[in-house]
Structure 1
């Protein structure tokens, strides 16, 4: 294993490829050394941006003895194939969410990484944010009583055309085969895993309504409702068609909690609470797991359950019916 770890970014398809590449350059334990992309022009541009080698030969890249890990920012539909190949080549994997288009493929990825002894971490960054830690502490104390309702909304305006130009989110994010889904499958992952954290990972039912304000091919406006066996309701909202403050609302029999990133304000029963600093982000966690030889148990479990709920939501929206969750 190299010191620092030698990392390659696999594809600049996803808009976060640059962000993760910057993390690989900035982290003292990693060194970005190469970019691969099946689109040579896109990949070369990404490699030039970071001053590293570009290659269009994935097999040759994964065969390199001096490469320790890969960042996966490919189209979602090839996650399983790319990650299984990387795991079998002995490369540690940091990947953009969702983990895979189906639960079976997600479980296959996890099995492949475990069999190869490589470390897998999925980018679920808001689990490490300070407001999440503070909210979990409130829930653990029972301050809100029995939870009855939770709502998390996250949106941006990346689908909306302005000044005669298309929205800043690339059109490839609206290609059904590559992207698997639109606003819910991409941005909506964050509200999904937060609702699962606060209310529970396994609701009884899931329903969904998707709409396309910009009419670019996939939904850019989505609401998912999760119904729980203990009668809680979880509401997940995601959009590419409006720029709103990130919002968390939790209601219980004994109180109310609200959070907004407009001012980083957390309020419980009318009292403003301090919001702590963020914990180490998932990329830093991944590096630590590689260095220490540990497994990202909770991250992996939550990534699989995230996939399960996203798949159910997409099925509910497509069929226009309530899905029994299992």
Structure 2
């Protein structure tokens, strides 16, 4: 078994690749030794910034025996090709969410890594935020009693920051728009806290931003335990905002970006502030990936889970288009577009 930091190569050089590379440098459990993107200037700039070697091609980077794993931030529609190539070369893969644009690709990615015996980890860092960890612990301890309802909001201001040439803002590259790009994070948190999601009702709109993709979307989620949750996602709001309220028979947790976490127990009249220390969610998920490569611990989010998470978003897309309740199982069984 190898010792020391996991040696990685980065593919898909963009703004998020730098975010993950910065987290790698904060960690020390991984070491960037190579990078590749089609633009020679971009890969040279990345190499200069992070002290690694630019590769002339993706194939050349995969052929480098020093590289143990790939940090993959390529566009969604090439996740299968880039990840399968890495798996075939015996490289572990950390893949940014969503796993793909289709359930069939998500399954193929998962199977390629399983067949090759390599670790596949997905980037779902929001669930790791300390306030959500605290709520989850309290739920597991029985403080909330039966969970009945939740409401969530994840909003960002993209007006004036919108690049219509980017795959991230086109229907072909990011089907479902804002719900697939950022709403999926809070779909994950709601499932993490309340339990599996079995059906979705959705509606979306394009109100402020140009292009061909929704900038506002709302979902009603049915959980397997009977609880209902709602999720609103927006790229058309005036500012960045996050909210997550969890309602149980015996207690309610209120979290928002500006006021932090508060808890209100049954019979009390005012919520009590709960102090949660900040944590580095990106470092945590990358170090979990590194540990799994070294045969230590288990992954919190793997390919199977990420494919189901994608299916929930796609159920919302079908629901918004057809005006009906859509079961997640229908998407998993039929991979409807």
**TM-score, normalization by structure 2:** 0.86
Cα deviation for residue 263 of structure 1 reads 4.1
Q: Which residue of 1 aligns with 2:59?
A: 59
Structure 2 distance, partners of 1:27, 1:229, is: 37
Cα deviation for residue 325 of structure 1 reads 2.5
Query: Cα deviation per residue 1:273-304 (whole Å; 9 max; x = unaligned)?
Result: 23255376211111111123555265444322
Structure 1 distance, partners of 2:240, 2:50, is: 32
Q: Which residue of 2 aligns with 1:197?
A: 192
Cα deviation for residue 217 of structure 1 reads 2.7
Structure 2 distance, partners of 1:233, 1:151, is: 9
Mapped pair 1:254 → 2:253:
no
Structure 2 distance, partners of 1:71, 1:224, is: 31
Q: Which residue of 1 aligns with 2:305?
A: 302
Structure 2 distance, partners of 1:215, 1:302, is: 33
Report if aligned partners of 1:136, 1:198 keep a CA contact under 8 Å in 2.
yes
- Closer/same/farther in 2, CA of residues 230 and 51 from structure 1, 3 Å limit: closer
Where do 1:84-233 residues align within 5 Å?
84-157=84-157, 159-161=158-160, 166-167=161-162, 171-228=166-223, 230-233=225-228
Q: Which residue of 1 aligns with 2:294?
A: 291
Structure 2 distance, partners of 1:318, 1:44, is: 43
Comparing 191-200 and 294-303, the one that deviates more: 294-303
SS in 2 for 1:80: helix
Query: Cα deviation per residue 1:110-143 (whole Å; 9 max; x = unaligned)?
Result: 2211221211111111222211111012212333
Cα deviation for residue 56 of structure 1 reads 4.4
- Closer/same/farther in 2, CA of residues 147 and 37 from structure 1, 3 Å limit: same
SS in 2 for 1:178: coil
Cα deviation for residue 310 of structure 1 reads 1.5
- Consecutive unaligned residues in structure 2, runs of 5 or more: 266-270, 330-337
- Closer/same/farther in 2, CA of residues 143 and 168 from structure 1, 3 Å limit: farther
- Closer/same/farther in 2, CA of residues 142 and 5 from structure 1, 3 Å limit: closer
SS in 1 for 2:67: coil
- Closer/same/farther in 2, CA of residues 58 and 2 from structure 1, 3 Å limit: farther
SS in 1 for 2:317: helix
- Consecutive unaligned residues in structure 1, runs of 5 or more: none
**TM-score, normalization by structure 1:** 0.88
Q: Which residue of 2 aligns with 1:238?
A: 233
Comparing 73-82 and 44-53, the one that deviates more: 44-53
Residues paired across the two proteins, number: 320
Report if aligned partners of 1:260, 1:266 keep a CA contact under 8 Å in 2.
no
Cα deviation for residue 96 of structure 1 reads 0.6
Q: Which residue of 2 aligns with 1:311?
A: 314
Query: Cα deviation per residue 1:232-282 (whole Å; 9 max; x = unaligned)?
Result: 211122222222431111123333221123243332332222325537621
SS in 2 for 1:185: helix
Report if aligned partners of 2:197, 2:222 keep a CA contact under 8 Å in 1.
no
- Closer/same/farther in 2, CA of residues 61 and 244 from structure 1, 3 Å limit: closer
Q: Indicate the RMSD between aligned Cα atoms, in angstroms.
A: 2.4
